[in-house]
Amino acid sequence: MAIAESDAYVKWAAWMLRSSPAAWDTDLCLVDSVVAPSPRQLDAALSGTAHHAATLHRHGLVGLRQRVVDQRPDAVLLAMTGPMVAAVTGVLATITGGARPVLVSGLPGVGLPVRHRAVRARRGIDVFVAHSRREREEYAAGFRWIGAEVQVALATLPFLVEAAAAAAAAARGTSVQGDATERRPVFAAQPSVPTTRSERLELLRRLATLGPPPPVVKLRQVGVERATHHEADPYGELLAELVASGDLAADALELSSRPLGDVLASASCLLTISSTAALEAIAAGVPVLIASDFGIGATQLNEVFAGSGLIGPITPAALAAAGAPRPEWAVEHYFHPTDENDWVEVVAGVVTARGQGATKRTGSFDQLQLRAAGRAVARSTVASARRAVGR
């Protein structure tokens, strides 16, 4: 069973389930939250998977606990933010009689740098899934540092496999990605970086210098939709402001909320500050440019790309020079040989050990879990109220 919170986690969970062994009986549901995806976001997140938005059920914490008690899954993938993981872990720890499942978690994309609060919130799980050699090493060290009994397993980000397959099919002529004359730069927007309004306005101005044809700004959320991280200054509003003031022409940039795979199909290059979309573009054979205009570091969440050969400014010259990452960087960061993946074996091993009587020390609710549960209940209540009034 997988339980997902936001659009990014829904996509990750659905693709993780798709990549699991055919013999596994899988299920996907949602936890009620203010960052829960809209129907449109669900459709985009589930694109290419066997899941459909209309069939997914939402549950609050009490409902989730009851569903786990009723279905008795061997393992549960907690595809959610750290605070929600802490809350759900605490709630599921109250299940008695040996019915508490193996708990698995991870992050839906680039997971570096390791944040202390991220590992602390997940210290009650059994298995953490990392997506690169470097992530595995650093998260294992993070869990050891806080004394958490968590095994760290390795898995290729599952949608990277699909992106690579699509690119290979296109190269064989079995799918159409469009003529080169139709290709345009695509900027993968993020809600949290750049951080300031002035930087985000300047970013749009610099993107506009890359046209014609007009670059595409790929959005994660539209209108009142929410994502995993809060977006204080949405690009749609900022672009409208620049057009209204005369700073940019109305056709200087194009906004798109289509699934990333669809947008990449006609991309000449993928630009971003630090989005996981860069990894999908690499897998699909699309040139990538990690924008250095606003810095490279932990604040911008892009220090993981140091040494990749992908970093440069948002200029026509850098765009023309963009390409693939250095092989030595790629093998350590998300593009390791797939035969190194062991997450299935690790999860199965913990399930087997649990069946033979091995237990994880869970204890009672600690202060972190109590606070997380309280916030989760509040977020679930707000989310339910918003849907009730049609927001």
The per-residue DSSP string of 64-129 comes to HHHHHHHH--SEEEEES-HHHHHHHHHHHTT--TT-PPEEEEE-SS---SPPHHHHHHTTT-SEEE
CA distance 244 to 238: 10
Residue 186 backbone dihedrals phi, psi, to 5 degrees: -125, 125
Q: Are 157 and 277 in contact (CB under 8 A)?
A: no
Hey, what CATH topology would domain 159-332 get?
Rossmann fold (3.40.50)
CA distance 289 to 323: 8
Identify the CA nearest to 275 among candidates 263, 285, 265, 260: 260
Q: What is the pLDDT of residue 390?
A: 45
Taking the alpha carbons at both ends of the chain, their separation in whole angstroms is 29
* Neighbour tally for 355: CB within 10 Å: 11
DSSP letter at 248? S
Residue 12 token pair? 């990750």
Q: Is 307 left (phi over 0), alpha (psi -120 to 50) or beta?
A: left
Q: What is the pLDDT of residue 389?
A: 41
pTM given for the model: 0.89
Identify the CA nearest to 363 among candidates 182, 160, 124: 124
Q: What is the pLDDT of residue 232?
A: 76
Q: What is the pLDDT of residue 231?
A: 78
Helix (H, G, I), strand (E, B) or coil at 29: strand
Which residues pair with residue 107 across a beta bridge? Answer: none
CA distance 86 to 103: 11
CA distance 15 to 391: 28
Report in angstroms the alpha-carbon separations of 346 from 75, 118, 128, 134, 359. 12, 21, 10, 18, 15
CA distance 351 to 345: 10
Q: What is the pLDDT of residue 161?
A: 86
Residue by residue, pLDDT tens for the chain (391 residues) are 999 999 999 999 999 999 999 999 999 999 999 899 999 999 999 999 999 999 999 999 999 999 999 999 999 999 999 999 999 999 999 987 777 899 999 999 999 999 999 999 999 999 999 999 999 999 999 999 999 999 999 999 999 988 887 776 666 554 444 444 479 999 999 998 998 999 999 999 999 999 999 999 999 877 655 656 567 789 999 999 999 999 999 999 999 999 999 999 999 999 999 999 999 999 999 999 999 999 999 999 999 999 999 999 999 999 999 999 999 999 999 999 999 999 999 999 999 998 877 666 554 445 555 565 556 555 555 455 445 444 3
CATH 3.40.50 domain span(s) along the chain = 2-156+338-388, 159-332
CATH class for the region spanning 2-156+338-388: alpha beta
* Neighbour tally for 112: CB within 10 Å: 21
Instruction: Give the torsion sign (CA, 344, 349, 350, 356).
Output: positive
Residue 268 token pair? 């000449």
Rounded (5°) CA angle 311-313-319: 85
Which residues pair with residue 31 across a beta bridge? Answer: 59
